[in-house]
Amino acid sequence: MPNSPSNDVDAPPVTEQPCRFPDDSVGLVTPQIHHFTNPLLLTCGQTLSEFTLIYETYGRLNADASNAILICHALSGHHHAAGFHDQNDKKPGWWDQYIGPGKPIDTNRFFVVSLNNLGGCHGSTGPTSINPDTGEPWGSGFPLLRVRDWVNSQARLADTLGIQCWAAVIGGSLGGMQAMRWSLEYPDRVRHCIVIASSMKLTAQNIAFNEAARSAITSDPEFFGGDYLKHHTYPKGGLSVARMIGHITYLSGDGMGNKFGRELKSGSFKQGDNEPVEFQIESYLRYQGANFSKSFDANTYILMTKALDYFDLSREYNDNPVTAFEQSTCNFLVISFSSDWRFSPERSREIVNALIAAKRPVSYAEIDSQYGHDAFLLPNERYQTVFSQYLNNIDIGTASKPKTGG
Amino acid sequence: MPNSPSNDVDAPPVTEQPCRFPDDSVGLVTPQIHHFTNPLLLTCGQTLSEFTLIYETYGRLNADASNAILICHALSGHHHAAGFHDQNDKKPGWWDQYIGPGKPIDTNRFFVVSLNNLGGCHGSTGPTSINPDTGEPWGSGFPLLRVRDWVNSQARLADTLGIQCWAAVIGGSLGGMQAMRWSLEYPDRVRHCIVIASSMKLTAQNIAFNEAARSAITSDPEFFGGDYLKHHTYPKGGLSVARMIGHITYLSGDGMGNKFGRELKSGSFKQGDNEPVEFQIESYLRYQGANFSKSFDANTYILMTKALDYFDLSREYNDNPVTAFEQSTCNFLVISFSSDWRFSPERSREIVNALIAAKRPVSYAEIDSQYGHDAFLLPNERYQTVFSQYLNNIDIGTASKPKTGG
């Protein structure tokens, strides 16, 4: 197309411009909301009399609903996994790298469902929602959730969407814990379980980092025991530090060194200079922390990290993961990343070993990456290949109509 | 000795009881203070017109002062490295395991000097001291210090003690940085430099952890930009979180797992229980954090971590550690610990490689330990053997009179 005439250069953008999204993007997406009015009994014994889940879908559900994939998000994730909410969005959803036409989770073949979990802060019922019994925000009163509560609420969402059995349930990190729990709680509703950079239970070190992060939040005087909304305050300092801790531990030491080294933000070291010197890594972390603290709820952060800590796949199976996985009937793909030290390859090998002992079909790939735990969100050729090939081999009864070739 | 008669069982302890300290303890020690009235020009360009150092000594200086050893402390250390301040002390000094008659730093042979560094909070001039120019505590106005400022002030202390040349300068972690800097700044005043679990400069990840810790302190509303004393407050929440972060990273993941696992503080996991579950590691960390925040100054913590971050052995030597070490004339012993991931063996091997390239005599031992960075403070047979043998081989011109056999 020719350029616009010069007198149009400063004109506002035309509303009906042709879509500028890449060919392998799911494009514009609109979140949907479902309000559930049947009570949900939670693991803690409390009941949510009603609740809302916000979710997005990509691709098209086929006639026998055999091509549906559930995406389970991690600690700070949400429903917006792929595509754009607006023509002017600068960034797509958090897993856009892996969801779209021709991508590993190929929306030409699959119908993908991605939700914000219960207890979240992006539109699903959570601590910032109004407690119908009090007319006030839940705040500190929001019930403790466990991974199985998410799985149960996701099953409800599947019901409303007419999905009896997922072609695959997929998740990284805390999302992988949900995928594994699905395979045990609803064995007849999952055909494939894809567990990425996850663990059957956290290590003491992992719990310790989570506890330091929570302490940063709860010791912030603006936290008010979780009832900051009532006090019109917000523990942004504490949440920012919590995110900084998380951020450091989701990266690898080498990756961080390669990206930042000991570079200074500006200027140089001089003797005779009493100005505080600032390394790039410091301003980067502070920026990340401050940014996150503007968009995330502190109670949700605590709730999600607690769910992570509590998760123990085989607690109800005599602490025997083999007995646990014997409940499952699906196929498994397990993926880990070499430099991930919070969910190390050792943790994934434990999953694989338990699956083998339980005589379950399992594929395992340990991917070389310098990006630590974050690697599961980032481009990586081998990861993409393994992921694609596994999903391409999933049989879907009635093919959905592809919009474009894949 | 027979047991006490039964009517004495509940009697208070006799005051003049015979010394109950172990034979290999330096026993009761009394800190000493030296007030320096000659101004000290700092690396930042500011001058301290006067300053105080608190220190302890163990053993006896020999006639030609050839048996003196300087102990440089790490981040949260102080002058009280060995022995007891009081008959009723439950715990000896922080490095008592390694300093005493017959121990690696054998006080039968050596005269050991251990001080609290400038900027500290245990008796040497620091942010809680009174600024003579204002009559108020220094607080945020205390000058930024670098490792070389400590080395310069330690040299002044050596002068007052009549020590022209140290038999050895020894330090772990931040203390190892001081030992290395001594070897470059005062080559004719150090015969042996012992660098334990240290580094020529911090990695980006290490700086990042320090920055998260500092952010926890500075974002505490009770910090008041460092002037909490004026406001009669104290950022104890922030300092506590800072210490928690440090604590986690000074231990190894495996060591933490072996010590705490996923054990609960009390009770057990139950479904239908909305009480927050607490892991032992959580209460341990909170206890450690809270305890530390009662006894340590927040500005000192910031100052010490900044000195750690800034340290770069070869910055003034064209970023070439070989050129740097060519300034030194002493012998080196370098020690690292297998599971130390904040000052990993790789960092120590970099020191050793630079020393070899600079044609300096160096011995190196990589010690197997599961205790992470903290290993340098803990008992370990091979570490003790290597350390003892190296120090036993140090020639001391005129033998000091041993009090007991060693």
**Nearest residue to B110 (alpha-carbon basis) of B71, B153, B76, B53:** B71
- Give residue-wise pLDDT tens across range A133-190: 999 999 999 999 999 999 999 999 999 999 999 999 999 999 999 999 999 999 999 9
Which residues are bridge partners to B41 per DSSP? B47
Of B244, B273, B281, Cβ closest to residue A204? B281
Query: What three-state secondary structure class fits A157?
Result: helix
Q: If residue B71 lies in a helix (H) or strand (E), which one and from where to where?
A: strand B68-72
Determine the straight-line distance between the first and last CA of chain B, rounded to whole angstroms: 26
| Residues 233-272, chain A, touching B (beta carbon < 8 A) | 237-238, 240-241, 244-245, 248, 251, 253, 256-257, 259-262, 269, 271-272
The dihedral over CA atoms of B173, B174, B175, B176, expressed in degrees to the nearest 10, equals 60
Q: Which of B149, B297, B312, B340 does the annotation list as catalytic? A: B340
Encoded amino acid at B358, one letter = A
User: Cβ–Cβ of A269/B312 closer than 8 Å?
Assistant: yes
Q: Is B261 exposed, middle or buried (0-12, 13-18, 19+ CB in 10 A)?
A: middle
Alpha-carbon gap: A303 to the closest alpha carbon of chain B (Å): 11
Contact B204 A285 (CB under 8 A): no
> Residue A221: which region, alpha, beta or left (left: phi > 0; alpha: psi -120 to 50)?
alpha
> Whose CA is closest to B70, among B196, B178, B199?
B178
pLDDT in tens, chain A (406 residues): 333 333 333 444 444 455 679 999 999 999 999 999 999 999 999 999 999 999 999 999 999 999 999 999 999 999 999 999 999 999 999 999 999 999 999 999 999 999 999 999 999 999 999 999 999 999 999 999 999 999 999 999 999 999 999 999 999 999 999 999 999 999 999 999 999 999 999 999 999 999 999 999 999 999 999 999 999 999 999 999 999 999 999 999 999 999 999 888 776 666 555 566 689 999 999 999 999 999 999 999 999 999 999 999 999 999 999 999 999 999 999 999 999 999 999 999 999 999 999 999 999 999 999 999 999 999 999 999 999 999 999 999 754 444 443 3
Calculate the alpha carbon distances from B335 to A10, A145, B41, B192, B395 in Å.
66, 47, 33, 14, 21
Per-residue pLDDT of chain B (406 residues; tens, 9 = 90+): 333 333 333 444 444 455 679 999 999 999 999 999 999 999 999 999 999 999 999 999 999 999 999 999 999 999 999 999 999 999 999 999 999 999 999 999 999 999 999 999 999 999 999 999 999 999 999 999 999 999 999 999 999 999 999 999 999 999 999 999 999 999 999 999 999 999 999 999 999 999 999 999 999 999 999 999 999 999 999 999 999 999 999 999 999 999 999 888 776 666 555 566 689 999 999 999 999 999 999 999 999 999 999 999 999 999 999 999 999 999 999 999 999 999 999 999 999 999 999 999 999 999 999 999 999 999 999 999 999 999 999 999 754 444 443 3
**Interface ipTM > 0.90:** no
Name the residue among A204, A248, A341 with its Cβ closest to that of B256. Answer: A204
Confirm or reject contact between A207 and chain B (CB < 8 A): yes
B317 at A interface, C-beta within 8 A: no
Rounded to 5°, the CA angle B31-B376-A211 comes to 100
- Using a CB-CB cut-off of 8 Å, the residues of chain B touching A205 are 248, 251, 253, 256-257
Task: Provide the 3-class DSSP secondary structure of residue B200.
Answer: coil
Partners of residue A199 in chain B, C-beta under 8 Å: none
Burial of residue B254 (number of CB atoms within 10 Å: 0-12, 13-18, 19+): middle
DSSP H or E run through A282: helix A280-295
Per the annotation, the verdict on B159 as an active-site residue is no
- Quick check: B221 contacting A, CB < 8 Å? yes
For chain A, say whether B276 makes contact (Cβ under 8 Å): yes
Q: d(Cα A195, Cα A174) in Å, to the nearest integer? A: 10
**Nearest by Cα to B71 from B197, B179, B191:** B179
Provide the pairing of β-strand B99-100 with B105-106: parallel
Q: How many angstroms away from the CA of B356 is the closest CA of chain A?
A: 25
44-73 in chain A: CB under 8 A from chain B: 44-46
- Amino acid type, A28: L
Domains defined along chain A, listed by start: 23-201+312-406 (3.40.50.1820), 203-310 (1.10.1740.110)
Kindly state whether A273 is in contact with chain B, defined as any CB-CB distance less than 8 angstroms. yes
* SS3 call for A98: coil
Among B residues 134-193, those touching chain A with beta carbons less than 8 Å apart: 143-144
